A and B are shown apart, each in its own frame.
Chain A
């Protein structure tokens, strides 16, 4: 019942969980000239949503399921599934950092067994989508709502970063985001197909360009964003 409101809170960039410092690869894409304006950005966002976005949404949906019946072993296994779907070490680290901060923040907002057990099971920080799904469960969301929030933040973070880095017209960029609505729905739908505990079938789309950008970003001396 409270799921809609909780989903909005979780998807809001104002959620104080450290997300503002991550660009989802956009900063490096801007630096190497892969994003120079709205057209490039639109393609970047679409590609990100179809790959990392879907994977992230599927993991969040699965985590939301686990959150309804939390057990340390299940958290650890799902976190390992996330680990093997995030190939670049730089992205793994960014994902775990964001996950740790998200758990810290959401435990205070929605105190719950789901989040307590995740924090204990993966003390160094669960992957971000796993943490997001756990928080969604704690807040009363359904898996589909967790998936939507995850897919949504996977494109809003780079869009906001591009606005800041390139001085793009923010209204135009929001229009690009609005144009993604059907794709966002598709991503959330794809994310929720697998419901059982056999997570090996969860989507595992690779995005080698994003992996490379993440690794280069870590080696770039001058940067504003963590990832």
Chain B
């Protein structure tokens, strides 16, 4: 490419840009609740942007804007044309565009969170879009879900099992979930949350601060 182009074309490597964190998982597991919680916990100390991938309408983006946990303009919604996993894995162009738009408008940012549309256990983020990813399950899907594995459960940098408050109601055994997850995840972390009870999802927020710090050190010389 010619050397003197001064349009906003970010290098695909991480230099001089925010950490991009993907949050994926099945429909209704609590992804938007987790995004809101992270905005609450991290908003005071980190410069944030959020991209949502809604299946229909702009429900998730609207929810976050109404929740008032982050400036409304710092949330962009991407439409996925019937295929939520395509937009985060196979054809990430619209998501990259949204992330870079946020960085151009409000940058420099520390963290851009990309919430995927609710999908199945095979839906993971492309490395071209997300530097790190969290997969969110909930206990109401049954305690067999971690055992079933799938790339979301096995490869995500962090597995979150949400809605622990519902475990007694649905008869889900958290120790079984914890043991099975450990077995398929090769030592990668798993956190149990009830975002209903902990509105800041503090354990997850602490993990995110850790990866943002690490990212910053790795790329500090270019910022």
Contact = CB atoms under 8 A, between A and B. Distances in A.
Interface in A70-112: 97, 100-102, 104-105, 107-108, 111
A111 to B, nearest CB: 5
A137 interface: no
Contact of A222 (B56, B83, B86): B56
Contacts of A15: 91
Interface in B53-108: 55-57, 78-83, 86-87, 90-94, 96-97
Contacts of B5: 116, 119-120
B197 interface: no
Contacts of A120: 5-7
A224 B55 contact: yes
A22 B5 CA distance: 29
A224 B91 contact: no
Contacts of A164: 81-83
Nearest to A122: B7
Interface in A207-221: 221
B217 interface: no
A225 B82 contact: yes
A154 B181 CA distance: 46
Nearest to B126: A16
Contacts of A123: 7-8
A125 B121 CA distance: 35
B81 A225 contact: yes
B221 interface: no
Contacts of A22: 81
Chain B, interface size category, equals 20 to 34
Contact of A101 (B2, B6, B56, B97): B97
B1 interface: yes
Given A113-B2, A120-B7, A224-B81, A16 B93 contact: yes
Contact of A104 (B56, B83, B86, B97): B97
Contacts of A111: 1
Interface in B3-49: 5-9, 12
A2 B209 CA distance: 48
Contacts of B8: 123
Contacts of B97: 18, 97, 100-101, 104
Contacts of A221: 57
B7 A165 contact: no
27 contacts: A15-B91, A16-B91, A16-B92, A17-B91, A17-B93, A18-B93, A18-B94, A18-B97, A20-B86, A20-B91, A21-B78, A21-B81, A21-B87, A22-B81, A101-B97, A107-B9, A116-B5, A119-B5, A119-B7, A120-B5, A123-B8, A161-B81, A164-B82, A224-B80, A224-B81, A226-B81, A226-B94
Interface of A: 14-23, 97, 100-102, 104-105, 107-108, 111, 113, 116, 119-120, 123, 161, 164-165, 221-226
